[in-house]
Amino acid sequence: MGKVYLVGAGPGDPELLTLKAVRVISEADVILYDRLIGEEVLNFAKPDCKLIYVGKEDGKHTIPQEEINKLLVYYASTHRNIVRLKGGDPFVFGRGGEEALYLKEHGIPYEVVPGVSSAYSVPAYAGIPLTFRGIASSFAVITGHECTGKEKRVNWRAFGSIDTLVILMGVKNRQRIAKELIEAGRVPDEPVAFIERGTTNEQRTVISTLREVASNPPEVKPPAIMVVGEVVRLQSDISQLLENVKNYEGAYHA
């Protein structure tokens, strides 16, 4: 009987992998990995490791979740170390909890290796603090993806008084989300940031407002994170500060 590791690979930048994640990946006999796992991360695997792609896109599931669960049990019966490699953190909208329960029900030993979540790391890379003294003392992380036919929708009114909202997987529904938030009582001129491919070399930030997103949403491509709140107004100043620090360090080392 092998052991399954539910591992968070972080938001994209391979340097944000934890030391434990690197060790577990390097010892794995089998790795089942998601769509946003980069080649640089998979390069930590040993040469004879079996790599199995089980990624999902909106409307396109290479392997259904039920089959992924069964694969984890199967490989645990044939190999010693199995890694289920997920972007961000496995327990933040990564369905890691479902997989953990399935493994427990089938008597498979498992361990969770937390990862750096894109919910806070991507805004940080873009120069947006989720909390800031005098501006924001609370934040919430919400899924923007709702399955067709799902009975229980996100209750956007519950987030009307939260200072900062971080919405994952919400690009497709961004216009409807903005309308829902305005109806929930949020100020139409409240700033909104979309951060595409955060923490990678292709990161791009688009700044807008709830009113603009609700009426004429900006062009944004997934994967992207949506941040709503007054802290977005700090983005340009903090980004410039980070750039100045980077330039100073470069000049110092030169």
89 an active-site residue? no
210-240 confidence digits (pLDDT tens): 999 999 999 999 999 999 999 999 998 777 7
Averaged over 77-81, what is the pLDDT? 97
Give the helix/strand (H/E) hosting 61: strand 60-61
CA distance 79 to 63: 21
- Tell me the C-alpha distance between 240 and 238, whole Å: 5
**169 catalytic residue (yes or no):** yes
**CA-to-CA separations, 177 to 86, 202, 212, in angstroms, rounded:** 26, 25, 12
- Does residue 16 register a pLDDT over 70? yes
What distance in Å separates the CA atoms of residue 195 and residue 126, rounded to the nearest whole number?
7
Say what the pLDDT of residue 1 is: 86
Whether residue 251 has pLDDT greater than 70? no
The predicted-structure confidence for 135-189, as pLDDT tens digits, reads as follows 999 999 999 986 445 556 889 999 989 999 999 999 999 999 999 999 999 999 9
pTM: 0.89
Active site residue 29: no
Give pLDDT tens digits for 105-127: 999 999 999 999 999 999 999 99
The full set of domains in the chain, from first to last, is 3-116 (3.40.1010.10), 119-239 (3.30.950.10)
Extract the tokens encoding 218: 């900006």
Query: Could you tell me which residues are beta bridge partners of residue 244?
Result: none
Catalytic residue among 3, 50, 56, 172: 56
- 18 burial (CB, 10 Å; 0-12 / 13-18 / 19+) is middle
* Integer Cα distance of 165 and 130 in angstroms: 8
- Which is catalytic among the residues 13, 34, 89, 226? 34
Q: Across all residues in the chain, what is the average pLDDT?
A: 92
